[in-house]
Amino acid sequence: MHLLSTVRRTALAVALGVSLATPALAAEREILNSSYDIARELFSAINPEFRDWWQAEQGEEIAIQQSHGGSSAQARAILQGLRADVVTYNQVTDVQVLADAGLVAGDWQELLPNNASPYYSTTAFLVRKDNPKGIESWDDLVREDVRMVFPNPKTSGNGRYTYLAAWGFAQQHFDGDEEQIHDFMRTFLRNVAVFDTGGRGATTTFIERGIGDVLISFESEVNNIRGEYGRDDYEVIVPPVSILAEFPVAVVEPNAERNGTQDLAQAYVEYLYSEEAQRMLAGFNYRVHHEAVVEEFADQFPETDLLRVEDIVGSWEQAMDEHFAGGALLDQLQRRR
């Protein structure tokens, strides 16, 4: 049954354009984690630890598959039939759309601590060696001599966080003056050199193609990029005001029930709150909640004023309707050039 399940999942994933890790066929049971684009390495590190923990606790050998892509695209794949057991996304709306379809519990944010977000991050800047343009905060990004790279908010949760962080800064800076906020955002968008569809594409544009003065992405991602491509060649700037980026998780209940993995899927999302997992998350430059781990990694995460999406635009639903829908503010601001 499980081999057949694997074949079906893989075939569907390929049809949907979703990449899967190589399945381990020896285990009796397996779960599929549907996750966001830049989390491949993170879960490649966490999954073996969970697998070993489960075997020690339950005496059962299991397998874990990974599926990665844009967070919204991943949610759509599940709506189209991808039988993922758990989701680990970077935007609340991508889990909520599954809840609205009856695939995730309606009260999913109340089922786990911290709004079912075991870790979080913020939006930060990656600049080239010695920060030649002197970029320190959002107002530096609207200067005529600065060009940015970040993912398109139309296709990327990462990009939506960037747009909303800039909007939140402008709200504070201009004391809510709508006309000045729009002028700021219009200039901000005009300074984008390349709108890639996802976080990894933006990284390629900035690092390998050498385009732009600053890459904007999650703090975790820009630190990981700096570690991979050269600490002496790049600098990470965490602006004094930015945004709280939550990374929600949930069990896809009908799929887990059909796959006979409810207990395994639930244990997997709960494991992300364990001290061991929190330490691994911090090692990948995500901010976490476990007090001992927070203290251990305190020097790694600069203090910044983290604005909530709810404080900036009311709710994620309002953000999607008023800013990112077809013809909404993002489109309007880009047309007024």
pLDDT in tens, 226-261: 999 988 899 999 999 999 999 999 999 999 999 999
Same domain, 223 and 263: no
Beginning with the edge strand found earlier in the chain, give each strand of the sheet holding 29-36 in spatial order. 19-20, 62-69, 29-36, 86-88, 249-251
In a domain, 300, yes or no: no
Same domain, 219 and 330: yes
* Confidence category of residue 321, pLDDT binned at 50, 70, 90: very high
In a domain, 1, yes or no: no
Same domain, 75 and 174: no
Q: Which residues contact 235 (CB under 8 A, 6 or more apart)?
A: 126, 127, 128, 129, 130, 131, 226
Beta bridge partners of 241: 305
Same domain, 172 and 257: no
d(CA 326, CA 208): 32
70 neighbors 155 (Cβ within 8 angstroms):
yes
The percentage of residues in the chain with a pLDDT greater than 90, rounded to a whole number, is 80
pLDDT in tens, 12-48: 444 444 444 444 445 789 999 999 888 989 999 999 9
In a domain, 299, yes or no: no
| 317: containing domain | 122-243+305-334
State the chain's maximal CA–CA distance in angstroms: 62
Mean per-residue pLDDT over the chain, rounded: 91
112 neighbors 270 (Cβ within 8 angstroms):
yes
The percentage of residues in the chain with a pLDDT greater than 70, rounded to a whole number, is 91
* CB burial of residue 40 (10 Å; 0-12, 13-18, 19+): middle
| Residue 26: predicted pLDDT | 59
Same domain, 202 and 317: yes
In a domain, 328, yes or no: yes
In a domain, 84, yes or no: yes
* Confidence category of residue 335, pLDDT binned at 50, 70, 90: confident
Look at residues 222, 257, 272 and tell me which one is the last residue of a structural domain. 272
